[in-house]
């Protein structure tokens, strides 16, 4: 992607490279760098598995419904040694595929992906899978995340009932 990229010049390959880099940052626990991929007005949502994928968090229960400030606080907390559920950090690997540009709408690029996230901690491996919906924008010639929505394609969470890492 060039430094003069615009929404109209962004290709699917550009989007793929961006999303693969995002997954690599999460997997390497480079969460402060990952956070920099988000706009100041960004939102990150993980709706519960029993609501419509387009549901809004003010009307429904979500596992995660963070604005940029809360997402920053989540990253700070997960990077501390006192975040016992994730210290030492679990081993995480994201696989992102089926990346499609759905729509170019005003300043937004609407993207759909399929994802699988494996998390191993204390000899237990959990698999999370689903659809990723993104609203990307171009800021200073580069892609940025305005909204990320990870929609789990399972009946619910396992007995632990938590998502303690970034999907």
Domains of the chain: 12-152 (3.10.450.50)
Nearest-angstrom CA–CA distance, 113 and 134: 8
Strand 91-105 and strand 108-121: the pairing is: antiparallel
Average pLDDT over residues 94-110: 95
Question: pLDDT tens across 44-57, in order?
Answer: 999 888 888 778 88
CB 58 within 8 A of CB 64: no
Question: pLDDT tens across 58-93, in order?
Answer: 888 888 899 999 999 999 998 888 766 777 888 999
Nearest-angstrom CA–CA distance, 102 and 87: 38
Where on the phi/psi map is residue 16: left (φ > 0), alpha (ψ -120 to 50), or beta? alpha
Percent of the chain whose predicted confidence (pLDDT) is above 70: 89
Sequence-separated (6 or more) residues with CB below 8 Å from residue 37: 18, 22, 25, 143, 144, 145
Strand partners, 117: 94, 128
Distances 110 to 104, 118, 134 between C-alpha atoms, Å: 6, 25, 6
Say what the pLDDT of residue 164 is.
63
- Closest to 136 measured CA to CA, from 95, 161, 167, 105: 105
Task: Indicate whether this model's pTM tops 0.85.
Answer: yes
Percent of the chain whose predicted confidence (pLDDT) is above 90: 56
Higher local confidence (pLDDT), 142 or 54:
142
């Amino acid at each position: 992607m060039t430094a003069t990229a615009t929404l109209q010049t962004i290709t699917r390959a550009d989007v793929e490279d961006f999303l693969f880099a995002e997954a690599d940052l999460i997997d390497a626990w480079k969460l402060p760098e990952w956070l920099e991929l988000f706009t100041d007005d960004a939102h990150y949502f993980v709706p519960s598995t029993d609501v419509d994928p387009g549901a809004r968090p003010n009307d429904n229960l979500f596992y995660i419904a963070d604005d940029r400030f809360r997402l920053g606080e989540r990253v700070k907390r997960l990077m501390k040694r006192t975040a016992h559920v994730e210290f030492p950090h679990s081993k995480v690997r994201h696989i992102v595929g089926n990346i499609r540009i759905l729509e170019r709408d005003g300043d937004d690029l609407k993207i759909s992906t399929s994802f699988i996230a494996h998390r191993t901690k204390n000899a237990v491996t959990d698999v999370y899978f689903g659809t990723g919906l993104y609203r990307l924008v171009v800021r200073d010639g580069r892609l940025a995340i305005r909204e990320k929505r990870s929609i789990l394609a399972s009946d619910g969470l396992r007995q632990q009932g938590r998502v303690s890492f970034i999907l």
